[in-house]
Amino acid sequence: MTKEHFLNSLSNRLHTLPNDERQRILEYYAEIIDDSIERSMSESEAVDSLGAIDAIVRDILGNESSKTDEFPHFTSAIVPITAGHEPLHSIFIKDPSADIKIRPCTESDGSCNIDFFPVECKDDYRISNEDGILSIRRIKPLKKRPKVSHNFGLFQISVEQNCRLTINLPVTELRKLTIEGLRGDIDCNGVKNCAEIAVQATSGNIELEEIECQILSAQNFNGDLSLSQVTCNGEAKLSTKSGDLSIEDSTFVGSMTGNTTNGDLKFEDSNCNGDLHLTTASGDLSVDNCHCSGDVDARSANGALSLEDSDCNGDLSLTTVSGDLSIDDCHCSGNVSLRSANGDLELNNLEIADNFELHTVSGDIEFNDLCIHNGPAKITTNSGDISGDFRDSDYGFDVSSRCGDVDAPHSRGDVIVTVRSISGDISLSC
């Protein structure tokens, strides 16, 4: 090994040390190698005489860490939980500070493992295992988070490492998994043997991935809540306050309710066989590439509401107060009701089987390629303008505006379309 190669790999291996300290160490070894070469050793002999780089790193780090770190060993402690008289059927976790990870079972005998990281935080928990209920609670507050430094060449940052709890579930069918977190993140991945899952956090993020369950409830306040590849066979209730709520690639066999206050709400590439209720106060709400067999009810106060590439077999009802409402490339087999107070309404390529009601107070209404099979349709606004284009021409138009201009095609069919504005203009075409 050349001197340069040796110093480079030593530098890489010592990336956790502060820059000036690492520099001192590199200078020390560079000097010794140069002096060895001066005493007629070859470069590679000089490097080899220092011994294995692993041993050198161990000597240096072993010496550094014992002096400077609160948590000298960044290792975890694995606590095995064996099933008692009754197999474990419920798991309850309450932890205000640690990041919590839930993973599928690794043991085949009905026991489970809890992995505490770093090892010192193990003693802060009370673990009880009675009547098939495993309860894991943090009983001591977190004193100080261990720090980890990361080196990015030009600069270095020191990050507080959160304590981490990883729970490998038992293989047995579980009735309920309850997680009450606060500041830490909750990450639940690959859990398929739990009938009911209830997750709660405050400022940490909640991530649920590849999960199958009967009942799902997840609640977050400031943190985000995200679901991906989740299958819920019963009822699902999800909510956040200021965090974002996002649902992707998921299937809800029963009804699904999603609420946010300030956070955005996204429902993407998913199916809902029951009724779908989505509500946000000031966040934006979007539904994209989804299929819903039941009714869809989506509401937003100030946020924008958008529906894209989706179809609904039941009734569709979308309401906003001051947010804009837009629908692109959607199909609905039931009744459709769209309402907005101040927001504008924009529809592109929307197909509706039955009743269609659209109303704004002061928002404008604009639509393209609108198709109504049975009707009747009622498009009304107080002060907004209405302009639109229908896909077919077999409609019986009843169009009037009290103060605005009206431009509408002749009636040619049975599907009644009533269009009214008080002070806005109306312009329609087929």
Partner 1 sequence: MDTQLRRGLLEICVLTVLRRGDSYGYQLVSDVNEIIPITESTLYPILKRLESSGCVSVYSVEHNSRLRKYYHISDAGHKRIADFLEEWKEIMHAYHCIESEAKMQHYSTETEEQQ
Chain residues binding partner 1 by CB under 8 A are 24-25, 27-29, 31-32, 34-36, 38-39, 50-51, 55-56, 59-60, 63
Nearer to partner 1 by Cβ, of 61 and 142: the residue is: 61
Nearest to 50 by CA among 86, 2, 92, 106: 2
Burial class (CB in 10 A: 0-12, 13-18, 19+), 296: buried
State how far the Cα of 206 lies from the Cα of 252, in Å rounded to an integer: 19
Q: At closest approach, how far in Å is the CB of 125 from partner 1?
A: 32
Q: At closest approach, how far in Å is the CB of 28 from partner 1?
A: 6
- For residues 220 and 206, the answer to whether their CB atoms sit within 8 Å is yes
State how far the Cα of 156 lies from the Cα of 425, in Å rounded to an integer: 62
Q: At closest approach, how far in Å is the CB of 33 from partner 1?
A: 9
What is the helix, strand, coil percentage profile of the chain, to 5?
15, 45, 40
- For residues 316 and 353, the answer to whether their CB atoms sit within 8 Å is no
- For residues 16 and 149, the answer to whether their CB atoms sit within 8 Å is yes
Nearer to partner 1 by Cβ, of 30 and 371: the residue is: 30
Query: Three-state DSSP class for 104?
Result: coil
Q: At closest approach, how far in Å is the CB of 46 from partner 1?
A: 10
Nearer to partner 1 by Cβ, of 2 and 82: the residue is: 2
Q: At closest approach, how far in Å is the CB of 120 from partner 1?
A: 22
Nearer to partner 1 by Cβ, of 51 and 80: the residue is: 51
Nearer to partner 1 by Cβ, of 64 and 398: the residue is: 64
Nearer to partner 1 by Cβ, of 52 and 139: the residue is: 52
- Taking the CA atoms of 344, 357, 374 and 396 in sequence, report the sign of the dihedral they define: negative
Q: At closest approach, how far in Å is the CB of 71 from partner 1?
A: 20
